[in-house]
Chains A and B, each alone.
Chain A
Amino acid sequence: MSAAWLRTASRAAGRYGVLLALVAFAGAPFYWMLLTAIKQNRDLYVGAYERTHVPWILNDPPTLEHLRLLFTGTDFPRWALNSFLVLIAVALITVVVAVPAGYSLARLSGRWGERLGVGLFFTYLIPPTLLFVAFARLVSALRLENSLLSLVLVYPTMTIPFCTWLVMGFVRSVPWDIEEQAMVDGWSRFGVLLHVAPRLVVPAVLTAVMFAFTLVIQEFVYALTFISSVKQMTVSLGVPVALVRGDVYHWGALMAAALLTSLPLAIVYNAFADRFIEGLTLGAVKG
């Protein structure tokens, strides 16, 4: 055995070792969610003092009891519906407001547009936890407590800056030729806007909708601040806050809900990660 072979082998082993450790750290909570969601209670609630009872495997046959409880015995279906309704409204508002703005910043405004774009981007950095005290007051003044409308009104403040920025970056990357040709062909600027530009921004709109989707499903702070009635909650609020009865956590149903909610998000993130990164970092990092 040569030294070179040994070095290559140990390097590969080191790489897989590091990879395994990282994957375990990132993935263990999700594996534990899955196990908890399908374990029978007598397999689940064995104190961790019991060295002989290995919690990381199924010691009894799996059960769908927790899932059944989640869908028939809790408000989870209602929360999913609420999240969906908010999502549709927020996605619509975002697209209608952010797409024209992004196009405008890319094509129709000069230096002041650039500055406004950067300014708009920075409002994205202002977090819900800074504004919630003010919103608590505004929402009660508007009589929107416990209403999904409060979320529909406020969530676009987080999606619009990001999506405007995203659309702007995207339109800039499309050559001006197509629109110019349309203008030579006799379209007015406005005509170009109505007939040519929409086709150019389709991928950006898709990304914007996906971003709105992930934001609405993930958001917790505003929902926690505005909504206290269990029936009006969204998934990411209801699951951790309302699946607890008194001091009793329904861990099986809770983890089933967490897993079911995370999966679609994981798929979206996996597909759109690079574009999200580009949008989130002012286009400074190209994914």
Chain B
Amino acid sequence: MMRRATLADRPGGLGALLLAPALLYVFLLVGVPFVLVILLSFSDSTAGSLTFHWVGFEQYARILADPVFRRAAWNTVLVTLGSQALAIVLATAAAQVLRSAFRGRRLARFVLLLPWAVPVSLGAIAWTWLFDSTFSVINWTLRAVGLLHGWLYWLGDPTLALVAIVLVQAWRMFPFATLIVLAGMTTLPQEMLEASVVDGAGFWRRLLEVELPLLSPVLVVAVLFGIANVATDLGVVYLLTGGGPANTTQVLPTLAFQRGILGADLGQGAAVAVFMLPFLIVVAVAMLWLARHAEVGRR
């Protein structure tokens, strides 16, 4: 016996109805603010008033001529690429170790995942304490093993502060990359690995010539996520150095925050923030391309 079809049987209408709230939410609270940021970057709006005055490319001209901005943009590239290079090496090593069964594997995995789980702001404040100018246990340890004889002012020296930021960002991102690489490893064709062993390939040759090329799409996914995350991260630099000493460690997000929120100059802040878009566009395009063309880790 067949029921008569009702409106509720038309999948299209029902589907649209169920989808509408999500689309509306995202449109109103991501789409609208996104357009607003772009518009604000062409205005001289301040936080105090609700007026909007179009000034064309004036904000862009101002920040492009500003050495602090240029340093911040360069730092963003440096920190993003540096931390991702480090994170990928660490993640590959961690995945190599974790792939095999051994006593304590679950505990090791738990500890290796910790930096991913901890809130960025709390991880950053813990590292601020580790890098403390007087009580740094890192300095104590380096001196104890004889690697350091003087003293390192981690967050007070522009170069060391950038090194510290790269380290913390790599620390924060490598667990995620590890999981992705591990997932990718389970999909490697087993016959190929066995064949390479039979052919007498050692560990390094197998890793560099067989496994890593096969894993490259997975590694790319990990790096893309790392880029999207690190290039737009405020917490680490904000809490570690506050952009200092003397604005030498500013990155785009902290500078946008300093100008737009603390300085109440919304136009400037928006223009600085817009320079994060190239990073995101690269990531989005690459992800789409990968999703279409590479069968990443599908079982």
Residue ranges of A at the interface with B (Cβ–Cβ < 8 Å): 11, 15, 18-19, 22-23, 25-30, 32-33, 36, 44-49, 51, 54-56, 96-98, 100-101, 103-105, 107-109, 113, 116, 118, 120, 122-123, 125-138, 140-141, 153-154, 156-157, 160-161, 164, 186, 188-191, 193, 214, 217-221, 224-225, 235-237, 239-241, 249, 251, 254-255, 257-258, 261-262, 265-266, 268-270, 273-274, 277, 280-282, 284-287
A134 near B12: Cβ-Cβ < 8 Å: no
Distance of A48 Cα from B138 Cα, bound (Å): 9
Contact partner of B297 (CB less than 8 A), chosen from A32, A193, A218, A286, is A286
Q: Can you identify 14 A-B contacts, CB atoms within 8 angstroms?
A: A30-B126, A101-B18, A120-B26, A129-B234, A131-B30, A160-B25, A190-B9, A220-B119, A236-B119, A239-B125, A266-B118, A274-B183, A277-B179, A286-B297
Distance of A261 Cα from B12 Cα, bound (Å): 44
Chain B positions 273 through 294: 1 when the CB is less than 8 Å from some CB of chain A, otherwise 0:
1101100100110011011000
B183 near A134: Cβ-Cβ < 8 Å: no
Point out the residues of chain A lying under 8 angstroms from B144, CB to CB.
51, 54
Residue ranges of B at the interface with A (Cβ–Cβ < 8 Å): 1, 3, 6, 8-12, 14-19, 21-23, 25-26, 29-34, 36-37, 40, 45, 47, 50, 90, 93-94, 96-97, 100, 102, 108-127, 129-130, 132, 134-137, 139-141, 143-144, 151, 171, 174-176, 179-180, 183-184, 187, 203, 218, 221, 225, 228, 232-235, 238-239, 252-253, 256-257, 260-261, 266, 269-270, 273-274, 276-277, 280, 283-284, 287-288, 290-291, 296-299
Point out the residues of chain B lying under 8 angstroms from A44, CB to CB.
135
Q: Taking CB as reference atom, which chain B residue is nearest A127?
A: B232
The SS class assigned to the B binding surface is helix
B11 near A189: Cβ-Cβ < 8 Å: yes
Contact partner of B266 (CB less than 8 A), chosen from A136, A237, A254, is A136
A108 near B180: Cβ-Cβ < 8 Å: no
Q: A221-B253, A285-B297 provided; 4 other pairs, C-beta below 8 A?
A: A97-B22, A104-B15, A141-B50, A284-B296
Q: Taking CB as reference atom, which chain A residue is nearest B184?
A: A285
Point out the residues of chain B lying under 8 angstroms from A257, CB to CB.
122
B122 near A186: Cβ-Cβ < 8 Å: no
With contacts A11-B203, A240-B121, A249-B129 known, is A19 near B11, CB below 8 A?
A: no
Distance of A35 Cα from B125 Cα, bound (Å): 15
Contact partner of B14 (CB less than 8 A), chosen from A101, A136, A190, is A190
Q: Taking CB as reference atom, which chain A residue is nearest B134?
A: A47
B179 near A273: Cβ-Cβ < 8 Å: yes
Point out the residues of chain A lying under 8 angstroms from B22, CB to CB.
97-98, 100-101, 120, 160, 164
B122 near A262: Cβ-Cβ < 8 Å: yes
Point out the residues of chain A lying under 8 angstroms from B253, CB to CB.
127, 129, 221
Contact partner of A26 (CB less than 8 A), chosen from B136, B171, B187, is B171
Distance of A286 Cα from B182 Cα, bound (Å): 10
B90 near A262: Cβ-Cβ < 8 Å: no
Point out the residues of chain A lying under 8 angstroms from B179, CB to CB.
273-274, 277, 287
Point out the residues of chain B lying under 8 angstroms from A186, CB to CB.
1, 3
Point out the residues of chain B lying under 8 angstroms from A51, CB to CB.
140, 143-144
Output the residue of B30, B47, B203 with the most chain A CB within 10 A.
B30
B8 near A190: Cβ-Cβ < 8 Å: yes
B15 near A108: Cβ-Cβ < 8 Å: yes
Point out the residues of chain A lying under 8 angstroms from B108, CB to CB.
19, 23
Point out the residues of chain A lying under 8 angstroms from B203, CB to CB.
11
Point out the residues of chain A lying under 8 angstroms from B235, CB to CB.
220-221
Shortest distance in angstroms between A95's beta carbon and chain B's nearest beta carbon?
11
Point out the residues of chain A lying under 8 angstroms from B102, CB to CB.
15
A109 near B121: Cβ-Cβ < 8 Å: no
Point out the residues of chain B lying under 8 angstroms from A105, CB to CB.
15, 19
Q: What are the 5 tightest A-B residue pairs by CB atom distance, in nearest-first order?
A: A108-B15, A190-B8, A101-B22, A127-B232, A104-B18
B34 near A133: Cβ-Cβ < 8 Å: no
Distance of A105 Cα from B123 Cα, bound (Å): 37
Q: Taking CB as reference atom, which chain B residue is nearest A104?
A: B18
A129 near B256: Cβ-Cβ < 8 Å: yes
Point out the residues of chain B lying under 8 angstroms from A161, CB to CB.
26
Distance of A188 Cα from B283 Cα, bound (Å): 42
Output the residue of B16, B114, B234 with the most chain A CB within 10 A.
B114
Distance of A249 Cα from B131 Cα, bound (Å): 14
Contact partner of A120 (CB less than 8 A), chosen from B23, B29, B225, B257, is B23
